[in-house]
Structure 1
Amino acid sequence: MKILKISVLLVFILSGVFAEAQIKLDTYKFGEGLNFRGDGDYNIQLSGFVQPYMETKRYTEVDENSSVSRFRMRRLRLRIDGNSGNQKFNYRFAVDLSGSTEADTETGDYLLDAFVSYNFTNRIRATFGQRSTYTDNRELFMSSNTLQLVERSRLTSAFATIREFGLFLDGRFRMGRGAYLKPYFVLTNGDGGNVFGKDHGGLKIGGRLDYLPFGLFTYFGQFRQADVVRELTPKLVVGAHYSKNNGMSSRRGRESGAILYLDANDEESLPDYTKIGVDFLFKYNGFSALGEYIKSDASVPTDITQRVRNNGTTSTNFDVDGTQDVENYVKGRMMLGEAYNFQLGYLFKSGISVDGRYTHLNADTNSFLNNATFYNRPNYYTLGVSKYLSRSYGAKIQASHTYVDGSDGINDNNGNPISGNEWITRVILTLTF
């Protein structure tokens, strides 16, 4: 019923916009959406994609008949982009009708992007609303239908906020010899997507600085993984990012109010969460390489005396290995540690791509990354093969096989201890209009 309401709303929005602006179809390119043009050079683009998905997981020292498979609609997305005739204002509205989640988010919200941008100059832009944040790792800059492998890396699911609501500033400045410098600034609520209830904690502030020594990538290639356009000259972007979430009420800043603490006066007292990282993307003639490193830390207030349970009641129990330890208990529920991810691949002219990835997670002593059911797996090795069915991201089928190191002790999805390691096989079909 909720999906039906959203679909009807989209139809009404499009019908009203098209009727008011007398918009007509201008161009269409498979995989890049329908482009419409109205009076006064008003532009609007309608795009979207669908991704049916299959996954099989089994354990190396368990009977193969105990493998678990699932089939689902991984993503079903629709997006509307538009701009004013003078190119000063831009907007985006995007939804996911699959009811699925992105990179293990705590909630499967339908609303993805909803923002308005204003171009102060050709080099400086301000955006207000909900969108992907510049203080995540580089992989989060890239649309899900352009991924090099079936799924994003485990670094992303462990540390990324994914989307936030607030103010975003970005710039683009040309340097000497064709190089570019791209600074970004972020000021958000620090609680992930739009908060409909109480907004817990303070603000999140952060930024990113990217350097492109060989000029801009071709056709938005900086924001897409595989080198479909086959860059004629080497393209490289190197970046660093930093953010501090003042008073965070979840594991990594995705869901407001998920984890709360109180002081002796029953007032909220929440930990601060800091994240830093560096990354790069390189492309040339069908070859692409992506590298990312990220590290997080937390500062726990000394006045915390209570924690709020899921049912709203409170407790003064902060047991850690038989000892009352408030600081380490709080940190044990947060995503703390460091990780790096490196992947590379080559797209042949035949449309076949061969790709590989290695991801390493190193958890702090007290961190949710030690949870044996969801994490506690330090190494991930992935091999993938893709077949691009068009000369763009319009249609492709991908398969990957991941070996997961379970040597630190892991549980299955039901919390039962498992001996050995994991094998995960994934297949996904992407159709983009």
Structure 2
Amino acid sequence: MNFSKQSFFSLLLLILIQASNAQDTVSSSWGKRLRFIAEDSTFSLKFGFRFQTLYDGRLNLNTDVYEDAMMVRRSRLKFDGWAIDPSVVYKLELAVSNRDQRSGHNAESGNTANIVLDAVVKWNFAKNWHVWWGQTKLPGNRERVISSQNLQFVDRSLVNSRYNLDRDVGVQLRHKSGDDKFRQILAVSLGQGRNVIARNPDYGYQITGRLEFLPMGGFKGKGDYVGSDIQREATPKLSIGLTGDLNTNAVRSRGNLGGFVENAEGDYISEDLTSFIADMMFKYNGISAMSEFALRSADNEEGLFGTGGGFVFQAGYLFPSNWEIAGRFTDIDADSNQTVFADQREFTLGVSRYISGHDLKFQSDISYQTFPGQTTEYLIFRFQTEIAL
């Protein structure tokens, strides 16, 4: 850790100590984070941390070569609350493990650690209406919007890693019906991903729209964005989502993610990328099922951007003992002329033990992965622990 990071975390610790001494109300419990409310009620703050420790072992079935690794997969600091008025909410989330700090060491991100995940203000300016401003996840596929803390498997599917929209900087307008059966989201952002400070010279923008339909009403505990039926829905619940996205003059190989695409002279190559995503979540009495379909295309198909489609379906059952068994099938059908990734197929079986919901759990899964048209096959085993205050 260099001096600047030490200074940052020392300052953070001093702020928290001072806040705990200065507040009128301090409360905490496992999984609920530390909470502070100002004596004059002008602000509130919740602070928490979480980390995941991962073992990843991969056997190449063609060569019998086994490779493994153990790492801190994710480590996060989370701050949120309201400022001046409860209708003005803020969220700040920082990544402090090096596995989390991707794409930071390049000119576009200022050649520095890329630690800021979310930095967003949310204003409830009218009944059932919110506007968000800052950096946060775009309203893309459901699996991506689900927090990595609340996943049903050790990690998200290949469909998400290939075609998700990820985080960006911009503004989002959100509305829901009074009975919470219909939701609409419109986002306008810069289209280059998180923490990019060197603006795309073509000045492209990204426009994202999402519609959600919950015919049986809302889920307990926002369960339509939580893996597994942790709340054990007493009646069937279903959520259907549709997302359309246009990223104009995108200069990264996967839109908001991937490398910056350049020609031999070092100039940016840009494409208009169009994405369509359909997803659903179903839960009832410990049973859960989730599915997503994604499709991405480029305007002139130069083959330098990750285009194609993918499908994933997963389902599981959470036993009364809080053990869960789940299965997942993933299929990637990449465009033949692009070079970013290949066709891929994966079958996954997962076993999880929830000690305190998603705040304290042990998860493992085993996957059989193939590349259609190739002879390469892998057997992948992962084991992960999650701790979240």
Q: TM-score, normalised by structure 2?
A: 0.90
Using the TM superposition, name which of 249-258 and 79-88 deviates more: 249-258
Q: Which residue of structure 2 lines up, in the alignment, with residue 154 of structure 1?
A: 158
**Shift of the alpha carbon at 1:277?**
1.1
Q: Which residue of structure 2 lines up, in the alignment, with residue 250 of structure 1?
A: 252
**Shift of the alpha carbon at 1:181?**
0.7
**Shift of the alpha carbon at 1:26?**
3.9
**Shift of the alpha carbon at 1:47?**
1.8
Which among 111, 120, 131 is matched to residue 116 of structure 2? 111
CA distance in structure 2 between the partners assigned to 1:16 and 1:61 by the alignment: 58
1:393 aligns with 2:380: no
Change (3 A) 1:248 1:234: same
Change (3 A) 1:357 1:18: same
CA distance in structure 1 between the partners assigned to 2:299 and 2:217 by the alignment: 39
Q: What letter corresponds to residue 279 of structure 2 in structure 1?
A: D
Q: Which residue of structure 2 lines up, in the alignment, with residue 124 of structure 1?
A: 129
1:87 aligns with 2:43: no
Q: Deviations over 1:326-345 (max 9, x none)?
A: x5xx3x22110011111111
Q: What letter corresponds to residue 387 of structure 2 in structure 1?
A: L
Change (3 A) 1:60 1:356: same
CA distance in structure 2 between the partners assigned to 1:200 and 1:170 by the alignment: 30
1:404 aligns with 2:369: yes
Q: Which residue of structure 2 lines up, in the alignment, with residue 379 of structure 1?
A: 345
Tell me, what secondary structure is at the counterpart of 2:333?
strand
Change (3 A) 1:5 1:381: farther
**Shift of the alpha carbon at 1:131?**
0.4
Greater share of strand: 2
**Shift of the alpha carbon at 1:75?**
0.7
Maintained 8 Å contact 1:345/1:353? yes
Q: What letter corresponds to residue 360 of structure 1 in structure 2?
A: D
**Shift of the alpha carbon at 1:44?**
1.6
Maintained 8 Å contact 2:261/2:268? no
Change (3 A) 1:348 1:89: same
Give the alignment of 1:321-360 within 5 angstroms: 327=301, 330=302, 332-360=303-331
Tell me, what secondary structure is at the counterpart of 1:4?
helix
**Shift of the alpha carbon at 1:62?**
1.7
1:139 aligns with 2:143: yes
Structure 2 unaligned runs (5+)?
Answer: 105-112
Give the alignment of 1:28-43 within 5 angstroms: 28-41=28-41, 42-43=43-44
**Shift of the alpha carbon at 1:385?**
0.1
1:288 aligns with 2:288: yes
CA distance in structure 2 between the partners assigned to 1:23 and 1:250 by the alignment: 45
Tell me, what secondary structure is at the counterpart of 1:99?
coil
Maintained 8 Å contact 2:166/2:257? no
Structure 1 unaligned runs (5+)?
Answer: 301-326, 370-374, 410-418
Maintained 8 Å contact 1:200/1:248? no
Using the TM superposition, name which of 198-207 and 210-219 deviates more: 198-207
Tell me, what secondary structure is at the counterpart of 2:281?
strand
CA distance in structure 2 between the partners assigned to 1:7 and 1:76 by the alignment: 14
Q: What letter corresponds to residue 175 of structure 2 in structure 1?
A: G
Maintained 8 Å contact 1:272/1:298? yes
Change (3 A) 1:58 1:118: same
Q: What letter corresponds to residue 131 of structure 2 in structure 1?
A: A
Maintained 8 Å contact 1:353/1:386? yes
Maintained 8 Å contact 1:179/1:213? no
CA distance in structure 1 between the partners assigned to 2:198 and 2:95 by the alignment: 21
Q: How many residue pairs end up in the alignment?
A: 377
Tell me, what secondary structure is at the counterpart of 1:11?
helix
Maintained 8 Å contact 2:25/2:39? no
**Shift of the alpha carbon at 1:398?**
0.6
Structure with larger Rg: 1
Q: Which residue of structure 1 lines up, in the alignment, with residue 279 of structure 2?
A: 279
Q: What letter corresponds to residue 406 of structure 1 in structure 2?
A: F
Maintained 8 Å contact 1:249/1:256? no
Q: What letter corresponds to residue 368 of structure 1 in structure 2?
A: T
Q: Which residue of structure 1 lines up, in the alignment, with residue 299 of structure 2?
A: 299
Q: What letter corresponds to residue 335 of structure 1 in structure 2?
A: G
Q: Which residue of structure 2 lines up, in the alignment, with residue 76 of structure 1?
A: 75
Give the alignment of 1:207-286 within 5 angstroms: 207-254=209-256, 258-260=260-262, 270-286=270-286
Q: CA RMSD in A?
A: 2.3
Q: Which residue of structure 1 lines up, in the alignment, with residue 183 of structure 2?
A: 182
CA distance in structure 1 between the partners assigned to 2:48 and 2:145 by the alignment: 18
Maintained 8 Å contact 2:306/2:338? yes
Q: TM-score, normalised by structure 1?
A: 0.81
Q: Deviations over 1:334-373 (max 9, x none)?
A: 110011111111111111011110011111121235xxxx
Q: What letter corresponds to residue 381 of structure 1 in structure 2?
A: F
Tell me, what secondary structure is at the counterpart of 2:199?
coil
CA distance in structure 2 between the partners assigned to 1:169 and 1:366 by the alignment: 36
